Amino acid sequence: MKAGKSNSTVLERRNYKWCYLFLLPSLLIFLLFYLSPILTVIATSFTKWDGFNKPVFIGLKNYIDLFHSKTFLISLKNLLAWSVIAATLHVGFGVLMAFVLYAKPKGWKFTRVIFMVPNVISAAAWAMIYKFIFNDDMGILNNLIRRFSPDFHVQWFFQSPYAFWAVTCTWIFYAVIVTLVVLNDLMAVPEEVVEAARVDGASPWQLTRHIMLPLCRNAIGTGVICSITSRIAMYEQIRLTTAGGPGDDTMNIPLILVNSISDMKYGYANANGMVMFVLGLIILAAVNITFRMNDSIY
Amino acid sequence: MKKKITVFCMYFLMVFTVIISVFPILWVIMSSFKTNAQILGNPFTLPTSISFEPYIYLFEKYDFLRYAVNSFLVCITSTLLSLLFFAMGAYVIGKYRFPGKSLIFALFTITLLVPSHSKAQPIFSLIMKINLYDNIWGLAVVYLSMGLAMSVFILKSTFMSIPSSLDEAARLEGAGFLRVFFQINLPLAKGGLATAGILMFLNNWNEFFYASLLTSSNKNRTLPVALQFFTESFSYDYTKLFAALTLVVLPGIILYALAQEQVQASVAATGVKG
């Protein structure tokens, strides 16, 4: 056998064929469902295209139209508001629950298991459940309120300005992903660090604020990214409750995208897709910088 | 005193979390056993009798069974196939050295950054082109592609944790590449396969966006999409609506109950929605 001057051994080289063969299905999936769609979205977002005729290059017109469309501007405003709520209240509640569970009070495991349930059922079903909870006739909420104020009637999902908040309610407290990711990091904090702080006389509050919280900033950053990107992609919770109404009160970019596909305005639809994609990247970069996620922690 | 307040707050938060997480579901299940009049009269009362009539109706007089079968077929085929494909990919990425390996892995990872909704139009057109629009297998093809990054992630670390000495030993005994994979590595990767498989199955089972975009006729609906049309067909028959909701929600919960450890661990590790 020729001892290898190169880095790879004979056995390895003989396996190349198999390696590429094994990667073939995944690579095909990547090409067909990731790479080529993304390139199509980028390219055709600068065209007028109905899917039958050839796309016609129109420069930035789709984007200009987008930023002149009232529906799109409302969607952006909604997205901004939802992102702020997600990054503060939603993630805040998730982190708070992580610290509660970290203290391991009686029943913490049970709570952790149960908290996950809304996330394992379909967002479509969850949206329907909330539609019923907020229903004026038989919903829990209004019936509860009517115990105290018998003439109370509000159609939460169909009246401005409540609709926005009703949609927000379907996700605001369901922050189990944040909780699990942060809890995972908290549990990984070395015993010595906690011990050392205690010996130095740190109160539980100081320990939490100055040691534990900074130590799990990566997990919190991940939580912020996940929760804001799910706001960008939020679809079922809106389609099945308000369908974007009343007026355009609860519109979101994926709804515009789907509507444009049904209207055969493919170029315009893809300009929306581009906006979603770019917004996602901006969020990722911004959170990475804010939370210094690339610096190592220990 | 201060300690007592902290403890009280902790329990308050825990009780709050449990209530907002299960109460809506319990309310739905409970309401499916009440009559329409009872539901409208007082949403808080317990059902007076247990009757499975609305459930039987859904299966006998409505196409519920068909939706359930559609959902199941689409999810199980796409999950099993993609599990095999991604396991093959993750195996060679995790255990072998070959040119282009890090590039391919990086490309797979980057797909996590692309919101799946943003690719709606090209995927819609692709499915149209291969003539699978309004066909459950078209949907299965799309689901096959989902979870690429997450599964390769999970499976790669699983395969890396299986000692290479086992592969060497098998090879010395004369086992070829395929046998080393299928008979040595795949059985030992059970844990990772279960985790990735369960997450993909749950995601596919609950998927609504592409299911509603890529199907149009009644016979091709999956459960989440069918839900949207229940509201129209039973507009004021709340008992049946609640029964339908219960049937859509329960399989996911049961699967989660059976595999709760895996789901939680993988969510914590990957930060990807389960």
Name the least confident of A135-149, B82-96, B207-221: A135-149
Q: Does B227 contact A97 at a Cβ distance shorter than 8 Å?
A: no
Predicted confidence (pLDDT) at residue B169 exceeds the cutoff of 60: yes
Q: Does B249 contact A105 at a Cβ distance shorter than 8 Å?
A: no
Predicted confidence (pLDDT) at residue A10 exceeds the cutoff of 80: no
Contact list in A for residue B83 (CB cut-off 8 A) is none
B262 within domain boundaries: yes
CATH of A60-290, one of 1.10.3720.10, 3.40.50.300, 3.30.465.10, 3.60.15.10: 1.10.3720.10
Q: Does A26 contact B209 at a Cβ distance shorter than 8 Å?
A: no
What whole-number percentage of chain A has pLDDT above 90?
A: 46
- Calculate how close chain A gets to B238, using CA atoms only, in Å: 9
Count of domains in chain B? Answer: 1
- Calculate how close chain B gets to A285, using CA atoms only, in Å: 11
ipTM of this model?
0.87
Residue-wise pLDDT tens digits, A61-88:
999 999 999 999 999 999 999 999 999 9
**B interface test, pick of A10, A17, A33 with most B CB neighbours within 10 Å:** A33
Q: Does B144 contact A110 at a Cβ distance shorter than 8 Å?
A: no
Please name the member of B88, B97, B248 whose beta carbon is closest to the beta carbon of A22: B88
Per-residue pLDDT, averaged over A256-279, amounts to: 92
B254 within domain boundaries: yes
pLDDT of residue A279: 92
* Mean of all residue pLDDT scores within chain A: 88
Name the least confident of A279-283, B62-66, B181-185, B221-225: B62-66
pTM here is 0.86
What whole-number percentage of chain B has pLDDT above 90?
A: 38
pLDDT of residue A8: 59
- Band (pLDDT 50/70/90 cuts) for residue B268 is low
Predicted confidence (pLDDT) at residue A57 exceeds the cutoff of 50: yes
What whole-number percentage of chain A has pLDDT above 70?
A: 95
B258, closest residue in chain A (CA to CA): A113
The three state secondary structure string of chain A is CCCCCCCCCHHHHHHHHHHHHHHHHHHHHHHHHHHHHHHHHHHHCCEECCCCCCCEECCCHHHHHHHHCHHHHHHHHHHHHHHHHHHHHHHHHHHHHHHHHHCCCCCHHHHHHHHCHHHHCCHHHHHHHHHHHCCCCCCHHHHHHHHHCCCCCCCCCCCCCHHHHHHHHCCCCCCHHHHHHHHHHHHCCCHHHHHHHHHCCCCHHHHHHHHHHHHCHHHHHHHHHHHHHHHHCCCHHHHCCCCCCCCCCCCCHHHHHHHHHHCCCHHHHHHHHHHHHHHHHHHHHHHHHHCCCCCCCC
pLDDT of residue B270: 62
- Band (pLDDT 50/70/90 cuts) for residue A2 is very low
- Pairs of residues, one from chain A and one from chain B, whose beta carbons lie less than 8 Å apart: 269
**Which residue did the predictor score with more confidence, A52 or A68?**
A68
Helix, coil or strand: residue B34: coil
What whole-number percentage of chain B has pLDDT above 70?
A: 97
Q: Is B13 on the interface with A (CB under 8 A)?
A: yes
Helix, coil or strand: residue B38: helix
- Calculate how close chain A gets to B252, using CA atoms only, in Å: 6
A106, closest residue in chain B (CA to CA): B11
B225 within domain boundaries: yes
Domain that holds residue B127: 54-270
pLDDT of residue B52: 84
B171 within domain boundaries: yes
* Mean of all residue pLDDT scores within chain B: 87
- Band (pLDDT 50/70/90 cuts) for residue A1 is very low
pLDDT of residue B269: 63
Residue-wise pLDDT tens digits, A167-199:
999 999 999 889 988 998 888 888 888 888 888
B80 within domain boundaries: yes
pLDDT of residue A150: 84
B17 within domain boundaries: no
pLDDT of residue A296: 64
Per-residue pLDDT, averaged over B149-164, amounts to: 89
Contact list in A for residue B8 (CB cut-off 8 A) is none
- What does the domain layout of chain A look like in residue ranges? 1-44, 60-290
Predicted confidence (pLDDT) at residue A4 exceeds the cutoff of 60: no
pLDDT of residue B271: 54
B162 within domain boundaries: yes
B226 within domain boundaries: yes
**Which residue did the predictor score with more confidence, B63 or A22?**
A22
Q: Does A180 contact B205 at a Cβ distance shorter than 8 Å?
A: no
For residue B139, what is the domain's CATH number? 1.10.3720.10
